């Protein structure tokens, strides 16, 4: 990789607010982004269209969509018939691991990113996890990211050859409002991103799940207009 040729980086892209912001940041940081979206049977599959749109808009050199049907294992309101929880207020979010937790999801997503990074000879993986305005999932915390980074050094040909992978988490300590402010400065059009865990067939957001509550408050605190169509008034 010469200095004037941007390095490839794999970016996990769900089509949500966070990962779309990360994609815009990666290009701004001078990497060539390779966007990776995993269709794991999530009920909010409308995310996939948002991810395709984001990959086009924010300069992904390639966009891989990989199917891994986690509905076979169950255990989550995001992939099964259980209702998506609707916390009474944003303050209740993250106190316990909620029913929307998908077992081992981020381990699976990062494993796939690791595979692609190795074949691209990329040394950088970006993931939009956040441990502040988040649902309390264990696989969004710094301890998880550190453990995965160590695993990557012993799991791969590249790692064993002394070319370790860096797992970048540029959002991990930001508030949702800070993320929105950063993305807005980079020209991200959030109207096209999807956060809701339980979206309607018409693309509307429920307005009451963890992800909607955090998104709503984030736009308010950032002072940025929120064009999301919520089904539930405040």
Closest CA to 14 of 71, 41, 52: 52
3-state SS class at 159: helix
Q: How near is the Cβ of 55 to its own copies at its closest, in Å?
A: 14
Q: How near is the Cβ of 122 to its own copies at its closest, in Å?
A: 11
Q: How near is the Cβ of 162 to its own copies at its closest, in Å?
A: 12
Interface with its own copies, residue 185, by CB under 8 A: no
Tokens of 131: 């441990």
Interface with its own copies, residue 164, by CB under 8 A: no
Number of residues that bind its own copies (CB under 8 A): 42
Q: Please pick, from the candidates 5, 95, 157, 234, the single residue that binds its own copies as defined by CB under 8 A.
A: 157
Q: Which runs of E-coded beta strand occur in the chain?
A: 8-12, 32-39, 62-67, 124-126, 166-168
Interface with its own copies, residue 230, by CB under 8 A: no
Q: Please pick, from the candidates 27, 43, 123, 141, the single residue that binds its own copies as defined by CB under 8 A.
A: 141
Q: Which stretch binds its own copies (CB under 8 A): 13-21, 105-113, 176-184, 197-205?
A: 105-113
- How far apart CA 230 and CA 208 sit, in angstroms, is 9
Residues 6+ apart with CB under 8 A from 81: none
CA distances in angstroms from 53 to 34, 49, 191, 199, listed in the order given: 14, 6, 11, 17
Q: Residue for token digits 């940041």?
A: 25
Q: Catalog residues that contact its own copies under the rule CB under 8 A.
A: 64, 66-70, 72-75, 97, 101-108, 111-112, 114-116, 118-119, 138-139, 141, 143-144, 147-148, 150-152, 154-157, 159-160
């Amino acid at each position: 990789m010469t200095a004037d040729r941007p390095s490839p980086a794999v970016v996990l892209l769900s089509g949500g607010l966070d990962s779309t912001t990360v994609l815009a940041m990666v290009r701004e940081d001078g990497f060539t982004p390779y966007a990776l979206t995993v269709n794991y049977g999530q009920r909010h599959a409308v995310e996939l269209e948002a991810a395709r749109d984001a990959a086009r808009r924010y300069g992904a050199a390639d966009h891989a969509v990989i199917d891994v049907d986690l509905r076979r294992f169950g255990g989550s309101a995001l992939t099964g018939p259980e209702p998506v929880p609707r916390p009474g207020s944003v303050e209740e979010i993250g106190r316990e691991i909620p029913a929307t937790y998908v077992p081992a999801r981020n381990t699976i997503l990062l494993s796939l990113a690791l595979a692609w990074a190795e074949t691209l000879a990329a040394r950088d993986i970006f993931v939009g996890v956040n441990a502040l305005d988040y649902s309390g999932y264990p696989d969004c915390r710094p301890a998880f990211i550190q453990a995965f980074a160590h695993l990557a050094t012993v799991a791969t040909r590249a790692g064993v050859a002394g070319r370790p992978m860096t797992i970048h988490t540029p959002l991990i300590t930001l508030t949702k409002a800070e993320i929105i402010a950063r993305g807005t400065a980079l020209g991200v059009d959030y109207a096209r991103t999807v956060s809701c865990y339980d979206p309607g067939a018409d693309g509307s957001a429920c307005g009451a799940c963890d992800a909607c509550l955090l998104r709503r408050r984030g736009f308010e605190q950032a002072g940025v207009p929120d064009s999301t169509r919520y089904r539930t008034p405040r």
